[in-house]
């Protein structure tokens, strides 16, 4: 068992090393489920097989010692020097391969349940949500706000709330579900979403947009100021970056393909889409630097991971810690 455990840890280290170096992709939820199942197997074996064997061996040792003392006592020897207590402790001690499997099961199980049903950490990988979220922000995602889902397969079993316009949502990228994306919900099922001449319209009504005072948002990486606006979606007010003089290019309309593509019309000045049932239209707050539903289509409900709500750490700027809209 020690050799088998060492091999399993070697495979885990190899997989994680390749994942970290970008040699292959992986699903952390599936990996965590596998670790939970494997350590649970070790925990069961420890509880019902290995621990009883060690206890029986320790009891046998104590019985042999008692019998030995009784024989010596009949011979008039009452003082016996031995280290039975130390030997008993050695017999009862878990070997390292059980310490690092069965011993870790409660911790891994707690992490699995917490991450699957309550909160999941997420790192902002790109600048598509600037200025709301910056590259390097470590955020928390509420996993239960939109409903309870089965781990790994992500199937909703209990509905709670539906995503609302203005929510910041983490979801599985429709073109590659092994990748998580984060954007803002701008259209819910049944909405007609238009983005024309750099203005957002929901069901024919322009989303309120207010320019913020110059010089705007300063990007420390690019060392440049960008025009900043305050936009309102439903009850949510948030900041966006938008160049009113720019015009996004989505590519030739006949080459833009995604499910329910027939719900969208592209023109020289923008795009209009009717959101189909069970789907959502997502956009980044950095409007001119965001690959979102305008380019690759709608996000189905089964791709939803959860609602992002809190920055718990940014090692470059501790002032970033806190809630956001």
Among the residue ranges 7-16, 131-140, 199-208, the one predicted with the least confidence is 7-16
Tens digit of each residue's pLDDT (9 = 90 or more) over 237-271: 999 999 988 888 888 988 999 999 999 999 988 99
Which residues are designated catalytic?
128, 183
Which residue ranges form the domains of the chain, and what is each CATH number?
2-112 (no CATH), 120-323 (2.10.109.10)
65: which 2 tokens? 């010692």
Q: Tell me the residue ranges of DSSP E strands in 188-285.
A: 192-196, 199-202, 205-206, 209-211, 217-219, 224-226, 228-233, 236-241, 264-267, 270-274, 279-283
Cis ω before 215 (30° cut-off from 0): yes
8 A C-beta contact, residue 91 and residue 59: no
Pairwise CA distance, residues 34 & 48, whole Å:
21
pLDDT of amino acid 20: 66
pLDDT of amino acid 81: 67
8 A C-beta contact, residue 273 and residue 193: yes
- Burial class from Cβ neighbours inside 10 Å (0-12, 13-18, 19+) for residue 58 reads middle
pLDDT of amino acid 90: 84
Residue 305's H or E segment, with its range, is strand 304-313
8 A C-beta contact, residue 114 and residue 129: no
Pairwise CA distance, residues 116 & 181, whole Å:
17
pTM, two decimals, is 0.83
Pairwise CA distance, residues 190 & 289, whole Å:
26
Confidence category of residue 80, pLDDT binned at 50, 70, 90: low
8 A C-beta contact, residue 293 and residue 281: yes
Q: Quick one: which of 15, 85, 91 has its CA closest to 52?
A: 91
SS3 264: strand
């Amino acid at each position: 068992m020690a050799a088998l455990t060492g091999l399993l840890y070697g495979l885990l280290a190899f997989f994680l090393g390749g994942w970290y170096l970008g040699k292959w992709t992986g699903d952390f939820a599936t990996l965590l489920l596998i670790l939970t199942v494997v350590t649970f197997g070790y925990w069961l074996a420890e509880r019902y097989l290995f621990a009883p064997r060690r206890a029986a061996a320790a009891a046998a040792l104590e019985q042999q010692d008692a019998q030995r003392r009784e024989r010596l006592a009949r011979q008039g020897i009452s003082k016996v020097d031995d280290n039975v207590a130390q030997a008993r402790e050695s017999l009862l001690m878990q070997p390292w391969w059980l310490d690092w499997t069965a011993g870790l099961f409660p911790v891994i199980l707690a992490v699995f349940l917490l991450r699957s049903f309550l909160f999941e950490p997420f790192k902002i990988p790109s600048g598509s949500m600037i200025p709301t979220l910056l590259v390097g922000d470590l955020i928390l995602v509420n996993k239960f706000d939109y409903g309870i889902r089965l781990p790994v397969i992500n199937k909703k079993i209990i509905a709670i709330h539906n995503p609302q316009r203005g929510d910041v949502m983490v979801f599985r990228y429709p073109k590659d579900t092994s990748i998580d994306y984060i954007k803002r919900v701008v259209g819910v099922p049944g909405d007609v979403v238009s983005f024309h001449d750099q203005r957002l319209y929901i069901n024919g009504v322009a989303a309120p947009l207010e320019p913020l005072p110059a010089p705007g948002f300063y990007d420390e990486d690019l060392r440049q100021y960008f025009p900043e606006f305050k936009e309102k979606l439903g009850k949510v007010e948030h900041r966006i970056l938008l160049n009113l003089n720019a015009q996004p290019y989505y590519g030739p309309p006949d080459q833009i393909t995604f499910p329910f593509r027939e719900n969208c019309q592209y023109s020289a000045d923008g795009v209009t889409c009717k959101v189909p049932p069970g789907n959502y239209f997502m956009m980044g707050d950095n409007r001119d630097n965001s690959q979102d539903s305008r380019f690759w289509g709608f996000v189905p409900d089964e791709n939803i991971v959860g609602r992002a709500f809190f920055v718990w750490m940014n090692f470059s700027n501790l002032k970033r810690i806190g809630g956001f809209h």
